[in-house]
Amino acid sequence: MKRIKEIERTHPDVKKVVKNGLTIDSKYVASLLETDKDWLETADRIPRSLEGYANAVGRNFNRHDIGNKAKETAALSSIISCRAVGIIDSAKHVSESQGQVFFEDIVICRPTKKEYQGLTIYVPQHIAGFYQPADLRRMVGQVFPVKIIDLKQVVFAKRYDVFKKQEEQPLENKYVALGDINIAEYLLNSQVLQELEEGGDHSPIHDVQKGMINYISDNGVFVLTANLERVFIPNKLFSYRYHSRILKTEDYAAIGELVDFKFLRGRYEQADDKRQRLGIEGNSPNLVGERLSLEKDPEAVVRDFIDAGPGTVASGYITDFNEIKGHYFEMDGAYGYPVRLVANERLTPQLFQRKQKISVVLRQGSYETVTDKAGKSYLKIRATVVYNSTFSEHAGLEDFFDR
């Protein structure tokens, strides 16, 4: 969204919209000028070949219909996966009846299915997702569930225009598709939340799920299932790698990567002040997942390594490079348990700085469980490893969306 001072250059009386006594930071209003044109005038029209599809998935549904099972079921069947491909910055919405023009960012989306990629769907910011990032531009490239809520007619067939020749008169109606991410996320996640609340311990909802990493925040990772449920996995629950002395989240989680996880819990979350100031209303079912149960405990990894005895090979990263005091090494799986790495002329600072994976051999090691002053027990290890060789790994990704 442009800064309000930028818009003041052309619209001196511009101000933030106030709704129900709350100032909306993401929407401005100003007096309408003759030069103001509605963003719909330049928006992509629905291709003639896709009008039938857009009409089929564009059933009307809004928050007033929540609780109407028949409408919810119909709406669920028409939610589609879309990728954000761009942003209309401070799009103008003209209200001639009020003599006003409104400014709001709009997310431009296109379906992920190839046969429908000619369809462009526009989503205003206040309905562009309950968990949208502070900077809306970071949504570009992400995949979202979208519910088409309106086919806005922008060209009316056979409406005579005195400034056009007969052969130039419009012969067909033309439409622009408007979408809603909030409603789509609400309907999809509510289903899972209901299963978590009603399903027993042996319910399939507790099985291992697969999701695509869609967004990485400072607090955790958002994944999207094949059915487009949006799940948040906190950093501490995403991987034991969180405790690594060398790895950061971006080193082991990449947008577009497929990962296994389990649903942990869910609850309805009311829009807080920050979201309300973006125009987001109501509540949303928040789903939380975890992956730790799918990984081996680092304590068990380091125990097994030492128990295997001298000569055991392991791979990992240098966590501390100090030619005087000595180096330290953290092996794969034993995150948070560095061991002493014997200095070697082949060990260079570049291996540490580039986070290049290396291979080592155990020279000697031991461990014991001790208790600290607070009464908390932990594993104390003493181990020395010797540099062996280097290697690299590669990973791939396949599309897997059902919708």
Strand partners, 284: 269
Give domain 298-390's CATH architecture.
Answer: Beta Barrel (2.40)
Arithmetic mean of pLDDT, 71-89: 93
Query: Can you tell me the distance from the alpha carbon of 91 to that of 100, in angstroms, rounded to the nearest whole number?
Result: 13
Structure tokens at 275: 């979201």
pLDDT given for residue 393 in this prediction: 46
- Burial label for 155, CB within 10 Å (0-12, 13-18, 19+), is middle
Query: Can you tell me the distance from the alpha carbon of 176 to that of 43, in angstroms, rounded to the nearest whole number?
Result: 7
Percentage of the chain with pLDDT > 90? 68
The string of pLDDT tens digits covering residues 365-383 is 999 999 988 889 989 999 9
The string of pLDDT tens digits covering residues 308-365 is 999 999 999 999 999 888 899 999 999 999 999 998 888 889 999 988 999 999 999 9
Higher pLDDT, 57 or 390: 57
Structure tokens at 234: 């906190």
Cβ contacts of residue 60 below 8 Å, gap of 6+?
A: 149, 150
Query: Can you tell me the distance from the alpha carbon of 371 to that of 373, in angstroms, rounded to the nearest whole number?
Result: 7
Query: Can you tell me the distance from the alpha carbon of 191 to that of 319, in angstroms, rounded to the nearest whole number?
Result: 44
Q: How many CB atoms lie within 10 A of CB 51?
A: 19
CATH topology of domain 201-294: OB fold (Dihydrolipoamide Acetyltransferase, E2P) (2.40.50)
Residue 396 has pLDDT above 50, yes or no: no
Cβ contacts of residue 232 below 8 Å, gap of 6+?
A: 131, 220, 221, 222, 286, 287, 288, 289
- Burial label for 359, CB within 10 Å (0-12, 13-18, 19+), is middle
Same fold for the pair 201-294 and 298-390: yes
pLDDT given for residue 324 in this prediction: 82
Instruction: Write the DSSP string, 169-185.
Output: S--S-EEEEEEEHHHHH
pLDDT given for residue 164 in this prediction: 66
CA 249 to chain centre: 14
Structure tokens at 192: 């899972």
Query: Can you tell me the distance from the alpha carbon of 65 to that of 60, in angstroms, rounded to the nearest whole number?
Result: 9
Arithmetic mean of pLDDT, 250-258: 93
Arithmetic mean of pLDDT, 71-75: 87
Query: What is the residue type of 350?
Result: Q
Question: Cα dist. 254→316, 331, 395 in Å?
Answer: 19, 21, 10
Q: Where are the domains of the chain?
A: 4-189, 201-294, 298-390
The string of pLDDT tens digits covering residues 148-175 is 999 998 866 555 566 666 666 555 778 9
User: What's the mean per-residue pLDDT of the chain?
Assistant: 89
Higher pLDDT, 197 or 295: 295
Phi, psi of 3 (to 5 degrees): -70, 145
